[in-house]
């Protein structure tokens, strides 16, 4: 039975968001024959989320038992994945109906794909919705297209929080990178240099903005942002020298 | 002028050990025409090591100004290096005389290799040295040769502290991995899967055992099995990925 593994890194501060995130997982309809597992990996030395997660029948919960940060936490979840595909879902986001079936069907139509990206629907703190614009054409994304955009604009042309990827390819690349601010962009950069991907036009998840997001923390915008993009840039160039 | 970058991640608690490490860098004699830089990246939000590092004219210090951990700290350092080779030196370890010349000579004799690992002796808290044998013979190592060893053991048969590597391959594989306990093995397993390397017969550095080592900490032992699993999974996935991609 083919299996899709949803990877969610969480921490105790997300207890108010996670129940609705879990409901959005439990209500997903998958193509015939497919199953899902929801891998929740809790960061921090005082885990609190087990009871919330375990109300979702497809959930498999584990706690780090110590503070590791987002990249290590996602990679620990990845090490538990049994599916051939992994889908990222942040602990404060919500899947829309059909969020998983769309990418699964795309992989079936195009067996040469290694990743499928979808669009978020943004929910602002005041309850208003706004549109996330994709900065690349939808459809097949050839190697180097994402990398060229990243190097030119120092900005990711698509959203990394709604990617579905081949599990083995993510593992081969070392998973989420040990990069202070752009751990997910660096993973996508490497994957998209080397493999074919697909950009879906549909919105497949709700990106909830709230005051507890790390990106709203003033310390987030330190000079480590520039360093993090430099690391992405260097990785793209280094891969290009080898391919 | 060819340049070798010695890369060291450090934190404020390491001031005395770092000065000792720096003295062993200063004492290196390089082959004619080579120069070195020592790139020290300090982890933590209250940096204190600039005064130590600036005693060494060939050194450059920068601080994260927040706690990032060893893998990210080394990767930030990697973004700052200018050398055509990078040698990893932990802040509590010591280079023996000739360490860098031995590594450079191996790259010059075997131009195909992308990494050179060296032998180390343990330096015990009472100051005595204890030698140990690597579980792999010295000499050339073909790409992928470590695969069965990694599958069985979840680790490599060489010491990842003390390697000298071409920066391009380190950057291509994403640098040190976001792996709780095996960040260096998580990186080197990919380097060794994809590229040829060399193990020197010479002992060129000292691996110091001391009380403040993280590996002596009880909490450090948690997540060890998960970390080794991540290493095994990367090694296995790379074999599959390369056959799909024709090389990373």
- Please provide the size of chain A in residues: 243
d(CA B38, CA B41): 10
Exposure on the CB side of residue B73, measured as CA atoms within 13 A: 26
Q: Does any CB of chain B come closer than 8 Å to the CB of residue A238? A: yes
The ipTM estimated for the assembled molecules is: 0.95
Contact B121, B129 (CB under 8 A): yes
A-contacting residues in B 90-119 (Cβ below 8 Å): none
The CA-atom distances, in angstroms, between B37 and each of A221, B30, B76, B106, B175 are 29, 12, 16, 19, 19
Read off the tokens for A163: 């990617």
Point out the residue among B226, B229, B237 whose CB comes nearest to the CB of A172.
Answer: B237
B-contacting residues in A 204-223 (Cβ below 8 Å): 219, 222
Point out the residue among A79, A178, A194 whose CB comes nearest to the CB of B175.
Answer: A178
Q: Where is A5: in which H helix or E strand?
A: strand A3-11
Point out the residue among A64, A69, A172 whose CB comes nearest to the CB of B234.
Answer: A172
A-contacting residues in B 217-246 (Cβ below 8 Å): 219, 222-223, 226, 229-230, 233-234, 236-238, 240-242, 245
Q: Does any CB of chain B come closer than 8 Å to the CB of residue A226? A: no
Q: Does any CB of chain A come closer than 8 Å to the CB of residue B171? A: yes
d(CA B71, CA A228): 13
Contact residues on chain A for B231, CB-CB shorter than 8 A? none
Phi and psi, residue B29, nearest 5°: -100, 125
Q: A238, B219: Cβ pair inside 8 Å? A: no
Q: Work out the number of other CB atoms within 10 angstroms of the CB of residue B51.
A: 10
d(CA A50, CA B45): 32
d(CA A6, CA A127): 26
| Residues B226-242 as b or e (16 or more Cβ within 10 Å = b) | bbbbbbbbbbbbbeebb
| Homologous superfamily of domain range B3-245 | Spore Coat Polysaccharide Biosynthesis Protein SpsA; Chain A (3.90.550.10)
Q: Does any CB of chain A come closer than 8 Å to the CB of residue B122? A: no
- B230: helix, strand or coil: helix
Q: Which residue's entry shows tokens 């550095």?
A: B205
- pLDDT in tens for each of the 248 residues of chain B? 899 999 999 999 999 999 999 999 999 999 999 999 999 999 999 999 999 999 999 999 999 999 999 999 999 999 999 999 999 999 999 999 999 999 999 999 999 999 999 999 999 999 999 999 999 999 999 999 999 999 999 999 999 999 999 999 999 999 999 999 999 999 999 999 999 999 999 999 999 998 777 666 667 788 999 999 999 999 999 998 876 554 44
Residue in chain A nearest B182 by alpha carbon: A72
**Cβ-count burial of A53 within 10 angstroms (0-12 exposed, 13-18 middle, 19+ buried)?**
buried
Domain spanning A3-242 has what CATH number?
A: 3.90.550.10
Q: How close A241 comes to chain B (CA, Å)?
A: 8
- Please provide the size of chain B in residues: 248
Q: Work out the number of other CB atoms within 10 angstroms of the CB of residue A28.
A: 20
Contact A221, A171 (CB under 8 A): no
Q: Does any CB of chain B come closer than 8 Å to the CB of residue A24? A: no
| Alpha-carbon torsion (B213, B214, B215, B217), positive or negative | positive
d(CA B103, CA B106): 5
Residue in chain A nearest B188 by alpha carbon: A174
Residue in chain B nearest A230 by alpha carbon: B79
Domain boundaries, chain B: 3-245
Q: Work out the number of other CB atoms within 10 angstroms of the CB of residue B82.
A: 11
Q: B248, A175: Cβ pair inside 8 Å? A: no
d(CA A138, CA A146): 12
pTM (predicted TM-score): 0.96
- pLDDT in tens for each of the 243 residues of chain A? 899 999 999 999 999 999 999 999 999 999 999 999 999 999 999 999 999 999 999 999 999 999 999 999 999 999 999 999 999 999 999 999 999 999 999 999 999 999 999 999 999 999 999 989 899 999 999 999 999 999 999 999 999 999 999 999 999 999 999 999 999 999 999 999 999 999 999 999 999 999 888 888 888 888 899 999 999 999 999 999 988
Return the closest-CA partner of residue A172 out of B74, B55, B240: B240
| DSSP summary character for residue A96 | P
Contact A197, A165 (CB under 8 A): no
Domain boundaries, chain A: 3-242
Q: How close B202 comes to chain A (CA, Å)?
A: 30
Contact residues on chain B for A168, CB-CB shorter than 8 A? 237, 240-241
Contact A197, A113 (CB under 8 A): yes
Contact A195, A114 (CB under 8 A): yes
Q: What angle do CA B210, B213, B215 make, to 5 degrees?
A: 120
Give the CA radius of gyration of chain B: 17
A-contacting residues in B 30-69 (Cβ below 8 Å): 64-66, 68-69
Q: A69, B180: Cβ pair inside 8 Å? A: no
d(CA B63, CA B69): 12
Q: A238, B79: Cβ pair inside 8 Å? A: no
Return the closest-CA partner of residue A86 out of B237, B186, B228, B222: B237
- A40: helix, strand or coil: strand
Q: Does any CB of chain B come closer than 8 Å to the CB of residue A227? A: yes
């Amino acid at each position: 039975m083919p299996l899709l593994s949803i990877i969610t890194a969480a921490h105790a501060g997300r207890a108010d968001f996670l129940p609705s995130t879990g409901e959005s997982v439990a209500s997903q309809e998958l193509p015939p024959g497919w199953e899902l597992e929801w891998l929740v990996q809790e960061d921090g030395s005082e885990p609190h989320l087990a009871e919330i997660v375990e109300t979702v029948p497809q959930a498999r919960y584990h706690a780090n038992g110590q503070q590791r940060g987002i990249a290590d936490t996602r990679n620990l979840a990845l090490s538990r994945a049994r599916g051939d595909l992994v889908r990222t879902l942040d602990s404060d986001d919500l899947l829309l109906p059909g969020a998983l079936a769309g990418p699964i069907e795309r992989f079936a139509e195009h067996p040469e794909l290694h990743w499928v990206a979808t669009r978020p629907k943004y929910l602002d703190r005041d309850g208003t919705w706004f549109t996330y614009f994709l900065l690349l054409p939808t459809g097949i994304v050839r190697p180097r297209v994402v990398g060229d955009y990243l190097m030119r604009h120092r900005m990711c042309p698509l959203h990394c929080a709604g990617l579905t990827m081949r599990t083995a390819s993510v593992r081969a690349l070392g998973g989420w990178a040990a990069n202070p601010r752009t751990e997910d962009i660096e993973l996508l950069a490497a994957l998209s240099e080397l493999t074919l991907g697909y950009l879906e036009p549909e919105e497949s998840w709700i990106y909830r903005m709230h005051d507890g997001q790390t990106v709203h923390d003033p310390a987030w915008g330190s000079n480590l942002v520039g360093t993090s993009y430099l690391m992405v840039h260097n990785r793209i160039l280094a891969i290009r020298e080898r391919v | 002028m060819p340049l070798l970058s010695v890369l060291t991640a450090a934190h404020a608690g390491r001031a005395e050990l770092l000065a000792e490490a720096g003295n062993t860098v200063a004492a290196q004699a390089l082959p004619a025409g080579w120069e070195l830089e020592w790139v020290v990246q300090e982890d933590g939000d209250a940096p204190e090591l600039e005064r130590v590092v600036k005693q060494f004219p060939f050194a450059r210090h920068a601080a994260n100004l927040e706690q990032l951990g060893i893998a990210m700290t080394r990767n930030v350092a990697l973004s700052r290096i200018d050398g055509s080779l990078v040698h990893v030196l932990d802040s509590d370890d010591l280079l023996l005389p000739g360490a860098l010349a031995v590594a450079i000579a191996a790259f010059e004799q075997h131009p195909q290799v992308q990494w050179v690992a060296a032998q180390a002796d343990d330096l015990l808290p009472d100051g005595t040295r204890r030698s140990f044998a690597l579980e792999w013979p010295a000499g050339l190592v073909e790409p992928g040769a470590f695969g069965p060893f990694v599958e069985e053991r979840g680790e490599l048969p060489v010491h990842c502290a003390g390697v000298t590597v071409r920066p391009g391959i380190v950057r291509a594989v994403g640098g040190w991995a976001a792996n709780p306990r095996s960040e260096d093995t998580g990186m080197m397993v990919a380097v060794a899967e994809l590229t040829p390397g060399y193990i020197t017969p010479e002992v060129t550095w000292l691996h110091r055992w001391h009380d403040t080592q993280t590996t002596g900490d009880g909490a450090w032992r948690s997540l060890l099995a998960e970390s080794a699993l991540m290493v095994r999974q990367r090694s296995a996935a790379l074999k599959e990925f390369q056959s799909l991609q024709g090389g990373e």
